[in-house]
Amino acid sequence: SPVAIIIRNIGIMAHIDAGKTTTTERMLYYAGYTRALGDVDDGDTVTDFMAQERERGITIQSAAVTFDWKNHRINLIDTPGHVDFTVEVERSLRVLDGAVAVFDASAGVEAQTLTVWRQADEHRVPRICFLNKMDKPGASFCYSVDSIKKKLKVKPLLLQLPIGAGRTFTGVIDLVTSEKVIWGPKTSDGDGAVFNRHPLVTADGPNLLKEARDARYALIEQVADLDDEFAELALRELCENIEAVPAEKLNAAIRRITLSHAAVPVLCGSALKNKGVQLLMDAISMYLPSPNEGQHDFKQWYGDDLCALAFKVLHDKQRGPIVFVRIYSGSMKPQSAVYNINKNCMERMSRLLLPFADQQIEIPSLQAGNIALLVGLKQTATGDTIVSSKASAAVASQRAAKDSGKKCDQNREQENLVLAGVEIPEPVFFCTIEPPSLAKQADLDRALICLQREDPSLKVKIDPDSGQTILCGMGELHIDIIHDRIKREYKIETHLGPLQVAYRETISISASSADTLDRTVGSKRNLITAELSVRPWLGEGPVTKPLIEFSDVLQEQLSTEILDAVENGLNTSFLQGPLLNFPLQDVVVTLESLHVHPGTSMPMISACVSRCLQKALRRAGSQVLEPVMNLEITVDEDHLSVVLADLAQRRGSVQEIQSRQDNRVVLACVPLAEMMGYSTTLRTLASGMATFTLELSRYEAMTSQEQKMLFNKMTGVM
Q: Is 18 in the site for ligand GTP (CB under 6 A)?
A: yes
Among 272, 322, 327, 357, binds ligand GTP (CB under 6 A): 272
Q: Is 22 in the site for ligand GTP (CB under 6 A)?
A: yes
The values of phi and psi at residue 269, to 5°, are: 170, -165
Give the integer Cα–Cα distance in Å for 276 and 270.
6
Q: Is 44 in the site for ligand GTP (CB under 6 A)?
A: no
Closest CA to 630 of 670, 660, 663: 670
Q: Is 19 in the site for ligand GTP (CB under 6 A)?
A: yes
Q: Which stretch binds ligand GTP (CB under 6 A): 16-24, 116-124, 190-198, 458-466?
A: 16-24
Q: Is 250 in the site for ligand GTP (CB under 6 A)?
A: no
Q: Is 643 within 8 Å of 666 (Cβ atoms)? A: yes
Among 11, 38, 81, 473, binds ligand GTP (CB under 6 A): 81
x/- letters, 279..318, toward ligand GTP (CB under 6 A)? ----------------------------------------
Q: Which stretch binds ligand GTP (CB under 6 A): 29-37, 52-60, 686-694, 702-710?
A: 52-60
690 is in an annotated binding site: no
Q: Is 668 in the site for ligand GTP (CB under 6 A)?
A: no
Q: Is 274 in the site for ligand GTP (CB under 6 A)?
A: no
Shortest Å, Cβ 88 to ligand GTP: 12
Give the integer Cα–Cα distance in Å for 662 and 118.
15
Q: Which stretch binds ligand GTP (CB under 6 A): 225-233, 264-272, 563-571, 676-684?
A: 264-272
Q: Is 21 in the site for ligand GTP (CB under 6 A)?
A: yes
Give the integer Cα–Cα distance in Å for 590 and 46.
59
Q: Is 140 in the site for ligand GTP (CB under 6 A)?
A: no
DSSP string, 542-599: ---S-EEEE-HHHHTTS-HHHHHHHHHHHHHHHTS-TTTSPPB-SEEEEEEEEEE-TT
424 is in an annotated binding site: no
Q: Is 577 in the site for ligand GTP (CB under 6 A)?
A: no
**Three-state secondary structure call for residue 503:** coil
Give the integer Cα–Cα distance in Å for 24 and 38.
10
Distances (CA, A) of 156 to 148, 173, 223, 562, 691: 7, 16, 11, 67, 22
332 is in an annotated binding site: no
Give the integer Cα–Cα distance in Å for 207 and 417.
60
Q: Is 255 in the site for ligand GTP (CB under 6 A)?
A: no
80 is in an annotated binding site: yes
Choose between 115 and 469: whose C-beta lies nearer to ligand GTP: 115
Cα–Cα–Cα angle for 632, 638, 643, rounded to 5 degrees: 40
Shortest Å, Cβ 521 to ligand GTP: 59
Among 136, 216, 478, 483, binds ligand GTP (CB under 6 A): 136
Among 8, 10, 20, 286, binds ligand GTP (CB under 6 A): 20
Q: Is 270 in the site for ligand GTP (CB under 6 A)?
A: yes
Distances (CA, A) of 687 to 105, 308, 681, 684: 19, 42, 10, 5
Shortest Å, Cβ 83 to ligand GTP: 13
Q: Is 271 in the site for ligand GTP (CB under 6 A)?
A: yes
Torsion from C-alpha of 385, 386, 391, 395, nearest 10 degrees = -50
Shortest Å, Cβ 100 to ligand GTP: 12
Residues 93-132 that bind ligand GTP (CB under 6 A): 132
Q: Is 58 in the site for ligand GTP (CB under 6 A)?
A: yes
The values of phi and psi at residue 283, to 5°, are: -65, -40
Choose between 22 and 576: whose C-beta lies nearer to ligand GTP: 22
565 is in an annotated binding site: no
Closest CA to 100 of 68, 67, 75, 69: 75
* Strand runs labelled E in 232-306: 264-268
Shortest Å, Cβ 432 to ligand GTP: 30
Q: Is 51 in the site for ligand GTP (CB under 6 A)?
A: no
Residues in a beta bridge with 588? 535, 547
Choose between 22 and 388: whose C-beta lies nearer to ligand GTP: 22
Distances (CA, A) of 664 to 116, 429, 633, 680: 18, 29, 8, 20
Among 14, 277, 307, 629, binds ligand GTP (CB under 6 A): 14
Q: Is 135 in the site for ligand GTP (CB under 6 A)?
A: yes
Closest CA to 532 of 616, 597, 618: 616
Q: Is 211 in the site for ligand GTP (CB under 6 A)?
A: no
**Three-state secondary structure call for residue 685:** helix
Give the integer Cα–Cα distance in Å for 436 and 438.
7
Among 59, 92, 147, 370, binds ligand GTP (CB under 6 A): 59
> Is 185 buried (19+), middle (13-18) or exposed (0-12) by CB count in 10 A?
exposed
Instruction: Give me the sign of the Cα torsion angle 675, 681, 686, 687.
Output: positive
The values of phi and psi at residue 439, to 5°, are: -60, -25
Choose between 57 and 621: whose C-beta lies nearer to ligand GTP: 57
Q: Which stretch binds ligand GTP (CB under 6 A): 267-275, 463-471, 529-537, 555-563?
A: 267-275
**Three-state secondary structure call for residue 55:** helix
Q: Is 40 in the site for ligand GTP (CB under 6 A)?
A: yes
Q: Which stretch binds ligand GTP (CB under 6 A): 19-27, 478-486, 632-640, 681-689?
A: 19-27
Shortest Å, Cβ 20 to ligand GTP: 4
Give the integer Cα–Cα distance in Å for 119 and 592.
51
Report cis status (omega within 30 of 0) of the bond before 265: no
Choose between 22 and 606: whose C-beta lies nearer to ligand GTP: 22
81 is in an annotated binding site: yes
Residues annotated within the binding site for GTP are 14-21, 78-82, 132-135
Which residues are near ligand GTP by CB under 6 A? 14, 16-22, 39-41, 57-59, 81, 132-133, 135-136, 270-272
